[in-house]
Amino acid sequence: MSNSWTSASGADLSAGYARHAGTLRGALRHALVARALRTHLPSWEQRVLDVGGGDGHQAVQLARAGHHVTVLDPDPAMLQRAQARVEAEPDHVRGRIRLVEGAGENAAQLVGSGFDLVCCHGVLMYLPNPDPFLHALAGVARDGGLLSVLTKNGQALAMRPGLEGRWADALAAMNTRREIGNLGVPTRADTVGDVERILGEADAATIAWYGVRVFTDHLGDTPVGEGFDQVLEAEWQAGARDPYRLVARHFHLISRRVGS
Ligand SMILES: C[S@@+](CC[C@H](N)C(=O)[O-])C[C@H]1O[C@@H](n2cnc3c(N)ncnc32)[C@H](O)[C@@H]1O
């Protein structure tokens, strides 16, 4: 499998992603990731790199909280959406966000190093091999800096097709940890253990991990409705404890680079 996002040339994945972000599932993912980041980030100004930061949703949340954010992403269509989102913000927020076109593998050359936080949310699943990518990301975090990785949960990939009654897909997902994702391109899933091992080799140790979408992943494109805060609270609490988080759609792992 090559990078299934960047090799889907001609298909505007950014439009499909924008549609998804407006659904309950998309909104919950963003809100749960933001809440975990708030839990672990110091409140004073941080230097953040969002690798594969896409349309800038998380960058804007972080910049509103006072942090300086560089978004590094190879997809011009996603960056164009990020640019529009950033332009809608007041000057002091806009001034804290920088958009850079390029691949995470080249982060050190493109944006330098020493970041307090390096994010990578919803990117690994499109890559053929997470190892070199995560090593590159760990390499641009400062000693003591945080890494935030969200990807598909390989131990529970069959939950969605299973709950939707798609039995052939459930069997395939269990046995291959691959599937055609929401946007119609091939994706891969990793396990918490896989990512912990790779980051461990890159001198980063896990601080916490959360399950993202335990109760709502089978709801298709249900829009955000009334009671969102209660759904969010239920998902947040389930995502922080076993056994619920083990069957979540994604895992969100936060680690700290300890330095070599
Ligand atoms: C599903 S979107 C996620 C966007 C954003 N992180 C979020 O959580 O909303 C996946 C993003 O990964 C980016 N991407 C794909 N290959 C990449 C690579 N090699 N380096 C950095 N970003 C990459 C895509 O361009 C796209 O913007």
51 lines ligand 1 (CB under 6 A): yes
Split into its structural domains, the chain has a count of 1
Cα four-point dihedral sign 196, 39, 136, 51: positive
The answer to whether residue 225 is domain-embedded is yes
Q: Are strands 178-180 and 141-152 parallel, antiparallel or unpaired?
A: unpaired
Residue 259, pLDDT above cutoff 90? no
User: How many helices and strands in the chain, by DSSP H and E?
Assistant: 11, 9
CATH of the domain at 166: 3.40.50.150
Residue of 103, 107, 127 whose CA lies nearest to 118: 107
Cis peptide before 243 (omega within 30 of 0): yes
Residue 91 CA to ligand 1 center (angstroms) comes to 26
74 lines ligand 1 (CB under 6 A): yes
Closest-lying ligand 1 atom to the alpha carbon of residue 120: 6
What's residue 12's pLDDT?
Answer: 84
What's residue 1's pLDDT?
Answer: 66
Nearest residue (CA) to ligand 1, atom 18 = 103
Residue 10 CA to ligand 1 center (angstroms) comes to 16
| Over residues 158-167, mean pLDDT | 97
The answer to whether residue 4 is domain-embedded is no
The answer to whether residue 36 is domain-embedded is yes
Closest-lying ligand 1 atom to the alpha carbon of residue 133: 19
Residue 9, pLDDT above cutoff 80? no
The answer to whether residue 1 is domain-embedded is no
| Over residues 51-74, mean pLDDT | 98
| Packing angle, helices 76-87 and 13-21, rounded to 10 | 40
- Residue carrying the six token digits 């929401």: 182
| Ramachandran category for residue 153: left, alpha or beta (phi over 0 → left; psi -120 to 50 → alpha) | beta
42 lies in which domain range?
A: 13-257
Residue 208 CA to ligand 1 center (angstroms) comes to 23
Q: Are strands 97-101 and 186-188 parallel, antiparallel or unpaired?
A: unpaired
The answer to whether residue 5 is domain-embedded is no
231 is written with which tokens?
A: 């759904």
pLDDT tens digits, 179-203: 999 899 999 999 999 999 999 999 9
CA distances from 29 to 35, 150, 258 (A): 10, 10, 28
Q: Is residue 136 helix, strand or coil? A: helix
Residue of 42, 18, 45 whose CA lies nearest to 30: 18
Mean pLDDT (the chain) is 96
Residue 249, pLDDT above cutoff 70? yes
The answer to whether residue 166 is domain-embedded is yes
256 is written with which tokens?
A: 């700290």
- Its pTM surpasses 0.95: yes
The answer to whether residue 141 is domain-embedded is yes
Residue of 171, 177, 172 whose CA lies nearest to 130: 177
Query: How does DSSP classify residue 240?
Result: T
What's residue 260's pLDDT?
Answer: 59
Residue 176 CA to ligand 1 center (angstroms) comes to 22
The answer to whether residue 216 is domain-embedded is yes
